[in-house]
Amino acid sequence: MADRPLPGELHEVFDVPDASTWWEPAPDDTERQRYREALRARLGAQGLAQRALLERSRALFAASPGGARREAENSSRVLDGSAGTVGPSTCLEWRLFQRQARRFPMLEHPTEFHAYVLRGQGRLRVYLSGADHVGGKLRHEVTSRVEADIARGFELVAHVHNHNFMFDRTPGDRMWTTAETVADVGGGVAPSLSDVQAYRGMRESLGLRGAWVTNGLETGRFTAEDFDRLSAWE
């Protein structure tokens, strides 16, 4: 039986000229300013800093029981600079985040999107998927189109998805909260163990060159070589 669509599941494709502006830091438009200020009201300016978010998440996971404590490993690698780089979100990353946020308000009702970013023949082609869901699902119907584009000469430069901020959590809620993660506010741009496992698979099957993890303000960017420096489920 085919998987049923998730509530609010939507898949879109965008094909635009590959202009340099897509890769520049996103300007602080009105929506982005409101988003930043709402986060500062919750966390304070220091608490919103990416290092603070990663350190907070790392400490929480390191204290978790069993295999969950391994989720601290990739935060450590981003913090010590041994894998990936962190910088301001680009115009492209912000536009993808913004499109999902206009469907579901990110702070009041967190959801995730993911996208394949391809370049070729002077074009930028993006396959964007999102739903009313915390977490993503890779669909064969989308990846088959990505495969066809690669066969036509496009390069899969990145897979991008967002890491939500999550507030007012309670165990068992729609944010998959457990007793160990109830104090984790999210927003860190280090990939999870499951993320890296997926990246390695896409590198093998699709020639994936990189991965971007964004919170709408900052983005962690990882090369295909970083996938081997990062931890995955073994």
DSSP H or E segment with residue 157: strand 155-162
Lowest mean pLDDT among 97-106, 133-142, 218-227: 133-142
Q: pTM higher than 0.85, yes or no?
A: yes
> Which of 175, 142, 134, 167 has its CA nearest to residue 8?
134
Tokens, residue 201: 């698979």
**Model pLDDT, residue 31:** 96
Higher pLDDT, 138 or 167: 167
Question: Is 153 exposed, middle or buried, given 0-12, 13-18 or 19+ CB atoms closer than 10 A?
Answer: exposed
pLDDT at 71 over 80: yes
**Model pLDDT, residue 1:** 36
Q: What is the pLDDT of residues 190-211, one digit of tens each?
A: 999 999 999 999 999 999 999 9
- Give residue limits of the domains in the chain: 10-229
**Model pLDDT, residue 172:** 95
**Model pLDDT, residue 101:** 98
Can you tell me the mean pLDDT for 88-108? Answer: 97
pLDDT at 2 over 60: no
Residue whose entry in the numeric block shows the structure tokens 């989720």: 71
The answer to whether the CB of 62 falls within 8 A of the CB of 214 is no
Can you tell me the mean pLDDT for 157-182? Answer: 94
| Pairing verdict, β 210-214 and 155-162 | parallel
